[in-house]
Each structure stands twice: as structure tokens, then as C-alpha cells.
């Protein structure tokens, strides 16, 4: 725990690794890509950006990513439930949350979130923005939001964008290539072929 007046503790990194993966046909987090697995890329990017610790959220096989697994309390309710689960687990600080299916993810894309955290108020969030459009599938959330979000999910909130109504947030511009997700094996291969060289 940090001392008063000292530097902030780094945010926790969380990879959303649950979901049915119906269109993909197998566990997306464990899909093979150059250098390892798709979920492993997300873990490596969070670690390289300075998140500590890094955990996986949900998924029956997430232990294969080599990080602690935080159970998703209501996995059938989508990513909003996964975010709520890891925020409740974290209790304090901020959590940088990314999905497991972003082939282009790297620390370079995540560093603006880390920099934002250094001066952010403890109850504010930072949300990925592409142009004028918020993209809350990648965001850095205050753990203090966890209990409220969990209650909202239980009460019927399902849309990922609903989280933006529950917290004060700042836009964090990102390269749209970060958010290109692979919902099918064919999409994954296409994105890998088109993958930009890492800076």
C-alpha cells in the first residue's frame, strides 16, 4: 500500500477472458498467434505497460494464461459483469480492463491509460476514444464503482455502454487499430496478416 504523499500504486491489469465464443468456435483467449496465444498478448501488453498485478477475468480455461483468475460472478451477462467482478475483487485503486481478442494490442497503446492514472481522481474513469466515439471495451475504471456496477448488472443492465452512465469519465484517444477485435478465426487471420509492426 502506498504511503500518503507517495507515488500512486500502479493500476491492476485485467483481461476479459470469458464469453461463449460461439462465433469463434473455441476459446478465443487461447487462440494461437505468433508468440503465444491471443489472451497471452493482452497479458504481456498490460505487464509491459506497467500494470500490476495482471489477472484474467472469467473463462473456464483462463488459468492457461499463467495469471490469477478472478471469477466472473454472472458470466452469462456479458462483459459488463466481468468488469463489475474484477472491480469488486480489486476493492481499491484503478483497474485497466481489456478484452482478450485484440490482436494488435501492445504496451504502446496502453501507456496513455497508465499516464492518465498518475493524476486521475480516485473515482474517475478513463475510456478509450476513437474520434468522437467512446469505446468502453478498453477502459481504466475505479474499483469504487464495482459494487454499484454489480447491482446495476443484477438489476438488468447489459449494454457495455451503460457503464458510462454510472461514472464520471475522461476520454483517452487511441489508435483504432487497438480496437480491431477477432470474432471469428477468419477475422483473426485477416488481422494478423494486416498487423502493423510494433513501434
pLDDT of residue 199: 47
Q: Write down the pLDDT at residue 27.
A: 82
Range of the domain at 31: 12-188
Considering the domain boundaries, does residue 54 fall inside one? Answer: yes
- Dihedral Cα 22, 23, 29, 31, nearest 10 deg: 120
Per-residue pLDDT of 163-188, as tens digits, reads: 999 999 999 999 998 888 888 888 88
Does residue 6 sit within a domain?
Answer: no
Is 48 contained in some domain?
A: yes
Q: Would residue 91 count as lying in a domain?
A: yes
Q: What does the pLDDT read at residue 20?
A: 53
Q: Does the residue 197 lie in any domain?
A: no
How many angstroms separate the CA atoms of 159 and 127, rounded? 15
Angle at 24 between CA 62 and CA 136, to 5 degrees: 70
Q: Is residue 105 part of a domain?
A: yes
**Nearest-angstrom CA–CA distance, 134 and 190:** 25
Whether 94 is covered by a domain: the verdict is yes
Residue 199 placed within a domain: no
What is the total count of domains within the chain? 1
pLDDT at position 1 is 36
- For the chain, list residues with pLDDT below 70: 1-7, 19-26, 194-199
CB-based contacts of 139, cutoff 8 Å, min separation 6: 96, 97, 113, 125, 126, 127, 128, 163, 169
- How confident is the model at residue 190, as a pLDDT? 85
Q: What is the CATH number of the domain that holds 135?
A: 3.90.550.10
Predicted confidence at residue 69, as pLDDT, reads 96
Amino acid at each position: 500500500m502506498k504511503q500518503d504523499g507517495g507515488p500512486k500504486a500502479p493500476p491492476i491489469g485485467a483481461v476479459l477472458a470469458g464469453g461463449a465464443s460461439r462465433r469463434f468456435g473455441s476459446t478465443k483467449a487461447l487462440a494461437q498467434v505468433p508468440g503465444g496465444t491471443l489472451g497471452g498478448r493482452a497479458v504481456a501488453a498490460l505487464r509491459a505497460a506497467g500494470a500490476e498485478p495482471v489477472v484474467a477475468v472469467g473463462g473456464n480455461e483462463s488459468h492457461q494464461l499463467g495469471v490469477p483468475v478472478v471469477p466472473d460472478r454472472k458470466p452469462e451477462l456479458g462483459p459488463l459483469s466481468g468488469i463489475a467482478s474484477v472491480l469488486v475483487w480489486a476493492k481499491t485503486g484503478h483497474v485497466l480492463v481489456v478484452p482478450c481478442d485484440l490482436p494488435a494490442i501492445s504496451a504502446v497503446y496502453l501507456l496513455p491509460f497508465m499516464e492518465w492514472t498518475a493524476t486521475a481522481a480516485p473515482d474517475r474513469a478513463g475510456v478509450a476514444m476513437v474520434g468522437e466515439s467512446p469505446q468502453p471495451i478498453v477502459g481504466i475504471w475505479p474499483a469504487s464503482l464495482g459494487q454499484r456496477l454489480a447491482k446495476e448488472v443484477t438489476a438488468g443492465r447489459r449494454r457495455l455502454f451503460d457503464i458510462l452512465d454510472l461514472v464520471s469519465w475522461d476520454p483517452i484517444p487511441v489508435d483504432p487499430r487497438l480496437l480491431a477485435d477477432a470474432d471469428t478465426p477468419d477475422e483473426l487471420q485477416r488481422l494478423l496478416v494486416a498487423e502493423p509492426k510494433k513501434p
